[in-house]
Amino acid sequence: MAKHEAKVVIIGSGPAGYTAAIYAARAMLDPVLIRGVQPGGQLTITTDVENYPGFAEAIQGPWLMEQMEKQAAHVGAAIVSDHVIGLDLSRRPFRLECDSGDVYLADVVILATGAQAKWLGLPSEQKFKGFGVSACATCDGFFYRGKDVIVVGGGNTAVEEALFLTNFAKSVTIVHRRDAFRAEKILQDRLFKNPKISVVWNVEVEEIGGGGSPPKVTHLKLRNVHTGAVTERAADGVFIAIGHAPATELVAGQLKLKPSGYVWTAPYSTATSVPGVFAAGDVADDVYRQAVTAAGMGCMAALETERFLAAHAEDRVAAE
Ligand code: NAP
């Protein structure tokens, strides 16, 4: 176990975390970035990225994150492969405790912990997790070569996952609880043109069915939200793509949250309810949730960190 001191510790390694690290390093703040359990964040479990500015052709999510990490390291950020398991924001310097046993004392914390996939919350979903139920097509799609799969959801993630799964599956059905998608129009166009994909509107998943040992999914029970009628649909696998929830476990009870559960930040700022703690990216953004907006917020957090540290250095001089 080692004890470290840092001016700024960044928690999280998605676009928000790495951008904050790049800016903070260039401001000579010697930032330490702790990567967490999913280094690179959500973009590492996606494939084509077509809307990150600067690339005319589609780029790969994992590649983009590698580049961000290299850039952050190149400008001098310390990148640590560890996971923060405890965070004390009750006094400065803030105290971070890592999985390895290492402890960091930081004048500023930038929280960029992102968001995690949401689950339906059905007991049958729990039963078949890892045995036909997944929340990551790029991780598990390969196992469904020549099979029939169902994707649940109606946002960008669901439509992208459905399109990706057509690379392997014989058929892909999207089941959505309404009669319209909220995914980008360009993605919807591609979906409707794909002969392998069909859509079942206005249904909710009532149960995921199957059996055997090891367990195997065979069908879904779908309930029509208007009529209540329940129908069965055969499937070898089901991908849950119903959105994401912010990763706020570390700050629960310490930072003010919005009613949506995301970290509250001051208007046009990444400042949280605790001075010296800034939040950037999906953990704080319940509106845009894009890679590029996360990167923008990471930049804001680093610039605000610089100002905060400068203001507090003056306070210290005044106090002496
Ligand atoms: P999202 O946009 O919040 O969509 C979630 C979808 O799941 C919605 O269609 C919602 O239905 C449905 N849903 C939510 N809870 C449900 C439940 N309990 N049962 C059944 N259906 C449920 O989430 P997302 O698609 O994961 O995207 C998250 C953010 O990341 C978005 O801002 C998105 O734009 C962004 N993103 C962008 C890209 C890209 O730019 N290429 C790719 C992936 C994600 P309703 O429509 O009825 O609410």
What tens digit of pLDDT does each residue of 165-177 get?
999 999 999 999 9
Whether 188 shows a pLDDT value over 70: the answer reads yes
**Which protein residue has the closest C-alpha to ligand 1 atom 34?**
156
pLDDT of residue 138: 86
314 has pLDDT over 90:
no
Q: What is the pLDDT of residue 162?
A: 98
Candidate from 26-35, 132-141, 174-183, 186-195 with smallest mean pLDDT: 132-141
Residue 89 φ then ψ, to 5°: -105, 15
Got the DSSP string for the chain?
--EEEEEEEEE--SHHHHHHHHHHHHTT---EEE--SSTTGGGGG--EE--STT-SS-EEHHHHHHHHHHHHHHTT-EEE---EEEEE-SSSSEEEEETTS-EEEEEEEEE---EEE-----HHHHHHBTTTEES-HHHHGGGGTT-EEEEE--SHHHHHHHHHHTTT-SEEEEE-SSSS--S-HHHHHHHHH-TTEEEE-SEEEEEEEEETTTTEEEEEEEEETTT--EEEEE-SEEEE-S-EEE--GGGTTTS-B-TTSSBP--TTS-B-SSTTEEE-GGGT-SS---HHHHHHHHHHHHHHHHHHHHHHHHHHHHH-
For the record, the structure tokens of 305 come out as: 């960190």
Cβ-based neighbours of 54, under 8 Å, separated by 6 or more: none
The set of protein residues with a Cβ atom below 6 angstroms from ligand 1 is 51, 120, 152-158, 160, 177-178, 182, 204, 242-244, 289-290
Give the Cα-Cα-Cα angle 171, 172, 176 (nearest 5 degrees). 150
- pLDDT tens digits along 219-277: 999 999 999 999 999 999 999 999 999 999 999 999 999 999 999 999 999 999 999 99
Residues 43-97 pLDDT 10s: 998 888 999 999 999 999 999 999 999 999 999 999 999 999 999 999 999 999 9
**In a mutational test of the pocket of ligand 1, which residue from 124, 189, 289 has the highest number of ligand atoms less than 8 Å from its CB?**
289
User: What are the structure tokens assigned to 308, written together?
Assistant: 């905060």
> Is pLDDT of 320 > 60?
no
- pLDDT, position 319: 47
Mean pLDDT confidence for 5-15: 98
CB 152 within 8 A of CB 172: no
- Amino acid in the structure at residue 30: D
Instruction: Determine the Cα–Cα distance for residues 137 and 234; give it in Å rounded to an integer.
Output: 19
289: CA distance to ligand 1 center in Å? 10
* For residues 104-110, average pLDDT: 98
14 C-alpha to center of ligand 1: Å?
19
Phi, psi of 280 (to 5 degrees): -140, 145
- Confidence (pLDDT) at 182: 97
- Per-residue pLDDT band for 1 (boundaries 50, 70, 90) equals confident
Mean pLDDT computed over every residue of the chain:
95
Q: Write down the pTM of the prediction.
A: 0.88
DSSP result, 7-48: EEEEE--SHHHHHHHHHHHHTT---EEE--SSTTGGGGG--E
Has residue 195 got a pLDDT over 50? Answer: yes
Active site residues: 136, 139-140
Q: Whose CA is nearest to atom 18 of ligand 1?
A: 120
Question: Ligand 1 centre and the CA of 249: distance in Å?
Answer: 21
pLDDT at 316 over 70: no
What residues contact residue 98 under an 8 Å CB cut-off, 6+ apart?
34, 80, 82, 83, 84, 85, 104
Q: Which residue has the tokens 């078949």?
A: 128
Tell me, what's the pLDDT at 93? Answer: 95
Which atom in ligand 1 lies closest to the alpha carbon of residue 158?
A: 25
Distance from the CA of 159 to the center of ligand 1, in angstroms?
A: 9
Instruction: List the residue whose alpha carbon is closest to atom 41 of ligand 1.
Output: 156
pLDDT tens per residue, range 113-161: 999 999 999 999 999 998 999 999 988 999 999 999 999 999 999 999 9
pLDDT, residue 262, reads 97
Q: Are 56 and 49 in contact (CB under 8 A)?
A: no
